[in-house]
Amino acid sequence: MKQRSWIAVGLLSLAALLTLAPFVWLFCASLKTNEHFFGSTLLPLREQGLGIDWSKLSFENYRRLFQELDFARALANSVFLSSVTGLLATFCCAAGGYALARFHFRGRGLVTACVLGAMLVPAPLLLAPGYQLLHSIGLLDSLAGLVIPAIAPAFGIFLFRQASLSSVPVELLEAARIDGCSEFRTFTIVALPLIRPMIGTFLMMTFLGVWNNFITPQVVLQSPERFPLSVAVAQFRGVYYQDYGLQMAGTVIGVIPVLILFLALQREFVSGLTSGALKG
């Protein structure tokens, strides 16, 4: 039995090593300029003696990103898009999901069917007609054209409906109404605190989804000054094709901040991710 435990830990360690290797490689690669890029797998070693040749490492790639290539703009766009979309979508989905779970009204079955149906529509199918629609209402190549269609995803309505069904007791809502609370106050003061865990989870899921989204901004945006990080970094693959260090530094900026943010908040995030599978 003891011996088997060691095998398990050994296999897990191997998996962890394979998982972490690309992160370590990425960070090392971002510190190397092109002339030293091919010289070493991870960090450049000294030609004589042992140890790392620090003189071949620098933050030059990062300096070029921010001073020559206006990468701060892309970073700001990503922060703006992710947080604004995240906040609006969380509020709209919480309100909608709560209404679907806790109000009896004519048409509720139809709306629920719409929510479930919309979740089945594959996103790429809407790419071409969505592009044409944004073109005809003048939202192409604008940040609003990215935010507005994303503020009330059916998936979010569904998650908040499930959360409200399981954690907002009807009696509490009745009590608030008898005390004279308006429906809006009942929602914000009674229901919202009860579904707080789902609010945290969904906010993070949306933030991360928008931050990492590529195909939508790639299709909707044309002006480089509006590009989020994902699209800006992908440009390097074409324009600065030979400049590996620069590509990797841009990728570090796209990866590390969210990684730190989400590892800090991982408990809520991971438990919420699986709630769709277990309760749905």
Partner 1 sequence: MMGPAASSRLAPWLFLSPFLVIFVVFTLYPLARSVVLATHQTFGPEHEQYVGARNFAAMIADPLFWTALRNTFVFALASVFIQLPISLGLALLIERRGTPARPLWRILLFSPALVGVVFAAMIFGIILEKRTGLLNVMLHNLTAGAWNLDFAWTQQYVMSALIVASHWMFVGFNMIYFVAALQNVRRDLAEAAVIDGAGSIDRFRHVTLPAIRPVAGFVVLTSIIGSFQLFELPYLMLNQTAGPDNRGLTIVMYLYQVGFEVGDLGYASAIGWGLAVVLVVCTVVQRLLARREEAAV
Q: Indicate the residue among 175 and 273 with the shorter CB distance to partner 1.
A: 273
136/215 Cα distance (integer angstroms): 20
- Token readout for 42 is 């991870």
Asked if 266 touches partner 1 (CB under 8 A), the answer is yes
Site for partner 1 in 43-82 (CB under 8 A): none
Among the candidate windows 25-33, 44-52, 64-72, 193-201, which touches partner 1 by CB under 8 A? 25-33
Among the candidate windows 48-56, 57-65, 104-112, 195-203, which touches partner 1 by CB under 8 A? 104-112
Site for partner 1 in 235-264 (CB under 8 A): 236-238, 241, 244, 247-248, 250-251, 254-255, 258-259, 262-263
Instruction: Output the smallest distance, CB 18 to partner 1, in A.
Output: 7
* Among the listed residues 105, 109, 179, 225, the single contact to partner 1 using CB under 8 A: 105
In this structure, are residues 208 and 234 in contact, taking their beta carbons and an 8 Å threshold? no
64/98 Cα distance (integer angstroms): 48
For residue 205, give the amino acid letter: M
Q: Indicate the residue among 58 and 112 with the shorter CB distance to partner 1.
A: 112
Instruction: Output the smallest distance, CB 117 to partner 1, in A.
Output: 9
Among the candidate windows 45-53, 55-63, 64-72, 133-141, which touches partner 1 by CB under 8 A? 133-141
CB atoms within 10 A of CB 214: 13
Q: Indicate the residue among 52 and 181 with the shorter CB distance to partner 1.
A: 181
Phi and psi, residue 179, nearest 5°: -75, 0
- The closest of 203, 178, 204, 181 to 191, measured between CA atoms, is 181
In this structure, are residues 272 and 205 in contact, taking their beta carbons and an 8 Å threshold? yes
In this structure, are residues 201 and 271 in contact, taking their beta carbons and an 8 Å threshold? yes
